[in-house]
Each structure stands twice: as structure tokens, then as C-alpha cells.
Amino acid sequence: MGSVLNVIKIGGNVIDDEDQLQVFLEKFAALQGKKILVHGGGKIATRLAADMGIEAKMIDGRRVTDQQMLDVVTMVYAGLTNKNIVANLQKFGSDALGLCGADGNVIKAIKRPVKDIDYGFVGDILVDSVNTLSIKKFLEAGFVPVFSAITHNGLGQLLNTNADTIASALAVALSKVYETRLIYCFEKNGVLRDVTDDSSVIKTIKSDDFERLKSAGIIYEGMIPKLENAFLAIARGVKNVYIGNALNLHLYQQGEFGTCLVSK
């Protein structure tokens, strides 16, 4: 097993706040060792689409991506947002390399099959979809890969893919080469025992605890799929998963960051 690799995903609410984003990127740049950043798009794509007269369609909180919206999210996620992040990381002394799944053939996906709902050009990542060899070359050369939430199907079609899923898939695939840790950064201090109390962070959650906390209604709604994906990543080889406040990333290497998810 090689050295430690931190795969860090930054949430859209932080991307939408320029001041918070600057604070986070400076802390990310200061983080020692091999690292990867994964980002979504925030509200910029929806706003730009509206300016162009394209209506954003959402079903159960998930974006429906028709051809027009795919054009917009590709421009925003893989272009505007990605390059702004990369430029600012360079400012903070981190040699970042902006990528989408098509670059270096690093992440392939398949178009989500239509069941009850047609989500359009949305990509689902398969087990062997991540090109670890290419990513390892970037990391060993000293680059910091910054992934946008755009993948491809290997046949010329770009696909909009959930950024949490991309982060998890990268961490799982690279766990064969490095000791990987997956870190989800968002606006809360961690998984909270009381959603109205930012200081009620649950420091450690084991898989057994998760079921109990879910049954008790302490963990609910949007946090459930996030934790389910996190424990799935651990089961597939990721060392630990952390969930915490993007502005507290400097506490990570001190062992004081957010909630740590462990297998047992």
C-alpha cells in the first residue's frame, strides 16, 4: 500500500459564497500530502440557464439534464467553476490540474437507464469506471487533480454526474493504490445530534450506530444517502470518511474535524 491520499469533496453552498470558497481553498492548499478535490456546480448553472431562457427541471432534488442543460452544466462545472478553483489554488501555491471525466479518460460513466423517470444525460459510474493509472501519474508528478462533476461514456457523450458519487468512486478506486480517506466538506460542522445546535457534532459513527441513529430520527432526509454512500465506500476499501465544515478543514490533520465514519 502506498502513501495516504485525501479525496475531498466541496459542496455547492460553499462554491456559491466567494468569501467562504477563498477560505476553504487556502486551507485545502495548505493540506499536506497527496490530495484530490471534487466539486459540483452550485447555483451558477441554474442562474445562467435562466438568463438563456432555459428552465431548470428538478425531480426529488435531482437535476434533469436535457441537451440544453447539459451544455450549460458542462460550461459551468467543467469550465467556469473548475477553472476559477484551479486559478485560486495556484494563487495559494497548490499546483492544481482541472479535469472532467473525459480528460485522460479518467472517469467513464453510463447514461442512467430510464425507469420511472428519464433524467436525461445523467451519468452513473460503474465499478471499474475509474482510470487509476492516469490519476496516479498526475498525483506522482506532484499535481493536485480538481474534478468537476462531468464524466463521459467513452463514445463521445458527456454526462452530468453527482459530485458526491464521483468523490466516492475516486476514493474507492484509488484505495487499491493508496490509503485513501474521503472527506465531505459542507456548511455544517458535521453530523449533528440536534440539527438546530451546531455544537452537537457526533464525533464518530460506526455502521451499527448509523442504523440506530437513523431509527431514532436523529439522522434523516438528505444526510441518509450521504452516510449510506460513505459506509459503502468504507466497505469497498476506503480507510475512513469524514463529514464536516469546509471552513474547519485546517482541523483535519489535527484529528479534530467534523464526524468520522468508521466500519466498526
DSSP string, 169-212: HHHHHHTTTSEEEEEEEESSSSSBSSTT-TT-B--EEEHHHHHH
Residues 194 and 200 sit within 8 Å (Cβ to Cβ): yes
Please give the biggest Cα pair distance in the chain: 51
Determine the number of helices (DSSP H) and then strands (DSSP E) in the chain.
9, 14
* Count of beta carbons in the 10 Å neighbourhood of residue 121: 21
Grid coordinates belonging to 213: 441513529
Residue for cell digits 428552465?
55
Q: Is 63 one of the annotated binding-site residues?
A: yes
Q: Is 236 one of the annotated binding-site residues?
A: no
Q: Is 112 one of the annotated binding-site residues?
A: no
Query: For 68, left (φ over 0), alpha (ψ -120 to 50), or beta?
Result: alpha
Q: Is 160 one of the annotated binding-site residues?
A: yes
CA-CA distance, 228 to 207, in Å (whole number)?
A: 9
* Count of beta carbons in the 10 Å neighbourhood of residue 191: 26
Non-local (6+) Cβ contacts of 248 within 8 A are 189, 256, 257, 258
In the annotated binding site, the residues are 41-42, 63, 160
In the annotated binding site for substrate, the residues are 41-42, 63, 160
